[in-house]
C-alpha cells in the first residue's frame, strides 16, 4: 500500500461580489438578519457567461502550481460538483482547459460533502498504487439554482472553487483517517429535484421531459442534523486515525452557518482559535467551501506543513463525512 501526501492547494471565485445590503434590495431581508443568523456578510456570484469549468480550472491551476507540478503530471481529476455546466459532467472540460492530457477525469456528486467524498475516493486510487498525482476539485455555482425570490435560501448560497493535489508516497502517509455517511430517508430536507413533464411519444409510450427545480431546503431540519451528526462523524474519523481532538491543529467545516461551526467546535471541546472560518466573505459555496477555506489558510501561512487538519462536510443527500490529514509533503 502506498502513502498519500497533499502537496498543493488552490482556489478561485468569480468577479462579482454580492453583499447582504445588495440582497436586502432583492428580497425582504437585512444585513443584520443574515449576519446574526449565518455569519455571512458577502459572497461571490458568477455571471451567466462564466462557467463552472473555468472556475474549477483556475483553482486547479493554482493547486498544481503550488505542488510544483505541471498539468501533464496529473493522472486523475475528480471534480466534486452538483452544478456542472454539462449534465454529463464537467471534469473532462476542466481536463481540457488545464491541458491535463494524460489524466482520467470524472465528476462526483455529493453536494456540500462532495470535497470530502472526493478526497476519500482519491485516497483509494493512491493507496492501491493505481495513480500517482490526483487532482481533487470542489466547485459549485449554486447561484444558478437558487430561487432569487426565496429569502430563506437565496441569502445563503454562492459560487467558488477549491482544489488540492494529492501525491502517492512510498513511505510517508499523511492521510490519517476518514468516515463517510449517507441517509436517503432525509433526502427531501435539502434537494434540487428534477422537474418532469410528460411527453407522449406514442399512444402507449411516454417519457419525461424537463428541467430542474430550484434549491429547496428545510433549514431548521438541516441545522439540527448538522449539529448532531458532524461532531459524531469527526469523532469517528479521529478514532480511525488513532487520534483525539487534542491532536488536531485545525478544524475546517463546510461553511454553511457560523452558528453550526461554533456549535460543533463547542461540542467537540475544541479551542475556537483552531477553527477556520471564512463564511463572512464567501457564504455557502457547497463543495468548494472546505478547499476554499483550506487554501486561504495555507496561503496566509496559518496552516503550516505538518499541521493536522480535520475537515467535515455535510449537506444534501443527506450526506456527511470527515477526513483527517496532515498538510504538506513532509511530516
Residue positions annotated with a catalytic role: 112, 254, 284
| Binding test (CB under 6 A) with ligand UT7, winner from 16, 152, 280, 331 | 152
Q: Does the footprint of ligand UT7 cover residue 65 (CB under 6 A)?
A: no
Q: Does the footprint of ligand UT7 cover residue 216 (CB under 6 A)?
A: no
Q: Is 27 helix (H, G, I), strand (E, B) or coil?
A: coil
Q: What is the DSSP string of 34-97?
A: HHHHH---EEEE--TT--HHHHHHHHHHHHHHHTT--GGG--EEEEE-SS-SSTT-SHHHHHHH
Q: What value does the CA radius of gyration of the chain take, rounded to a whole number of Å? A: 19
Closer to ligand UT7 by Cβ: residue 54 or 257:
257
* Four-residue CA torsion sign, 68, 71, 77, 81: positive
Q: Does the footprint of ligand UT7 cover residue 38 (CB under 6 A)?
A: yes
Q: Which residues contact 238 (CB under 8 A, 6 or more apart)?
A: 177, 244, 245, 247, 248, 310, 324
Closer to ligand UT7 by Cβ: residue 20 or 167:
20
Residue 291 in grid coordinates: 478547499
56 to 198, 214, 317, 323: CA distances (angstroms): 35, 22, 22, 22
Pick the stretch among 14-22, 32-40, 91-99, 132-140 that binds ligand UT7 (CB under 6 A). 32-40
Angle at which helix 52-66 crosses helix 289-299, to 10 degrees, equals 40
Pick the stretch among 93-101, 125-133, 162-170, 216-224 that binds ligand UT7 (CB under 6 A). 216-224
Mask of contacts with ligand UT7, 101-120, x by CB under 6 A? -----------x--------
| Binding test (CB under 6 A) with ligand UT7, winner from 35, 219, 243, 299 | 219
Mask of contacts with ligand UT7, 245-274, x by CB under 6 A? -----------xx--x--------------
Closest distance of CB 121 from ligand UT7, Å: 20
Q: Does the footprint of ligand UT7 cover residue 33 (CB under 6 A)?
A: yes
Query: What region, left, alpha or beta, does residue 93 occupy, with left being phi > 0 and alpha being psi -120 to 50 degrees?
Result: alpha
| Binding test (CB under 6 A) with ligand UT7, winner from 106, 145, 212, 223 | 223
Under the rule (CB under 6 A), what is the footprint of ligand UT7?
29, 33-34, 37-38, 112, 151-152, 155, 190, 219-220, 222-223, 226, 256-257, 260, 284, 315
Amino acid at each position: 500500500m502506498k502513502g498519500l501526501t497533499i502537496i498543493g492547494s488552490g482556489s478561485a471565485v468569480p468577479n462579482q461580489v454580492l453583499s447582504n445590503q445588495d440582497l436586502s434590495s432583492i428580497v425582504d431581508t437585512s444585513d443584520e438578519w443574515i449576519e446574526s443568523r449565518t455569519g455571512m456578510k458577502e459572497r461571490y456570484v458568477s455571471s451567466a457567461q462564466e462557467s463552472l469549468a473555468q472556475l474549477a480550472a483556475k483553482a486547479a491551476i493554482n493547486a498544481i502550481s503550488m505542488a510544483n507540478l505541471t498539468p501533464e503530471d496529473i493522472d486523475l481529476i475528480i471534480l466534486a460538483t452538483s452544478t456542472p455546466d454539462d449534465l454529463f459532467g464537467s471534469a473532462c472540460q476542466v481536463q481540457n482547459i488545464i491541458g491535463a492530457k494524460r489524466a482520467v477525469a470524472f465528476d462526483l456528486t455529493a453536494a456540500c460533502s462532495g470535497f470530502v467524498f472526493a478526497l476519500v475516493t482519491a485516497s483509494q486510487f493512491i493507496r492501491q498504487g493505481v495513480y500517482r498525482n490526483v487532482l481533487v476539485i470542489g466547485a459549485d455555482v449554486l447561484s444558478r439554482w437558487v430561487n432569487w425570490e426565496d429569502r430563506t435560501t437565496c441569502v445563503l448560497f454562492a459560487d467558488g472553487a477549491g482544489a488540492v493535489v494529492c501525491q502517492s508516497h512510498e513511505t510517508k502517509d499523511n492521510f490519517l483517517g476518514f468516515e463517510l455517511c449517507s441517509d436517503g430517508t432525509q433526502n427531501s430536507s435539502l434537494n434540487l429535484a428534477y422537474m418532469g413533464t410528460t411527453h407522449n411519444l406514442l399512444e402507449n409510450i411516454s417519457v419525461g421531459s424537463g428541467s430542474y427545480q430550484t434549491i429547496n431546503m428545510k433549514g431548521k431540519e438541516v441545522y439540527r442534523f448538522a449539529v448532531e451528526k458532524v461532531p459524531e462523524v469527526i469523532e469517528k474519523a479521529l478514532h480511525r486515525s488513532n487520534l483525539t481532538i487534542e491532536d488536531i491543529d485545525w478544524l475546517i467545516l463546510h461553511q454553511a452557518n457560523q452558528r453550526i461551526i461554533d456549535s460543533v467546535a463547542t461540542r467537540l471541546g475544541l479551542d475556537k482559535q483552531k477553527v477556520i472560518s471564512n463564511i463572512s466573505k464567501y457564504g455557502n459555496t457547497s463543495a468548494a467551501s472546505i478547499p476554499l477555506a483550506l487554501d486561504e489558510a495555507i496561503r496566509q501561512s496559518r496552516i503550516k506543513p505538518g499541521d493536522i487538519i480535520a475537515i467535515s462536510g455535510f449537506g444534501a443527500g443527506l450526506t456527511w463525512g470527515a477526513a483527517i490529514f496532515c498538510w504538506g509533503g513532509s511530516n
